[in-house]
Amino acid sequence: MSEFFATYQTPIIFLHVLSAVIWVGGMIAMRFAAHYSFAALEAPQRLARTAHALRNLFMMVVPFVLLLLLTALIMAVGMGLHHGELKLIAFAKEGIWSVMALNLGAMIYRRKKAQRLIDAGEFSSAAPLLGLIGRVMVPVNIALGIVAIFLGVMLGH
């Protein structure tokens, strides 16, 4: 694996950074651009648009979440990160990835549930399901993603 990493170091780090940009950047665009724009709509439209935009976001990021982990594991093994003095930072990043991925899974589940309620016209039941995603779950993943990026800079230098 170290030989593989040494040969393909540049594309592996590139794909790792690109995946982080799409995952974290996608959430930031949704939370700070789309969210405030949808807030101006009436409830049924707002919920339908929000559920639709979140579906597109989640479908886009899932392959990059997996690519982020794959490139991370190649780097961890290739650089021997689990044994050296940087192991705590590597373990912290793996922990952060796991929490972010679990949070994303929970958001995908809630969004699907909300979609079914929206399709049935039960807007008042759908609202809290989507509300928590916007108020808490996405911001938590943005914050964790930023910490992971900072730790990535520490590992790279």
Q: HSE of 153 in the Cβ direction (CA atoms, 13 Å)? A: 5
Alpha carbons 66 and 58: distance in angstroms, whole number: 12
> Of 48-56, 70-78, 113-121, 123-131, which segment contacts ligand HEM by CB under 6 A?
70-78
**Residues binding ligand HEM: what is the number (CB under 6 A)?**
25
Nearer to ligand HEM (CB atom), residue 134 or residue 145: 145
Interface with ligand HEM includes 20 (CB under 6 A)?
yes
By beta-carbon proximity to ligand HEM, the closer residue of 23 and 38 is: 23
Q: Residue 71 burial by CB count (10 A; 0-12/13-18/19+): exposed, middle or buried?
A: buried
**CB 65 to ligand HEM: min, Å:** 8
| Residues in 97-116 that interact with ligand HEM by CB under 6 A | 97, 100
Are the C-beta atoms of residues 76 and 98 closer than 8 Å to each other?
A: no
In whole angstroms, the minimum distance from the beta carbon of 133 to ligand HEM comes to 18
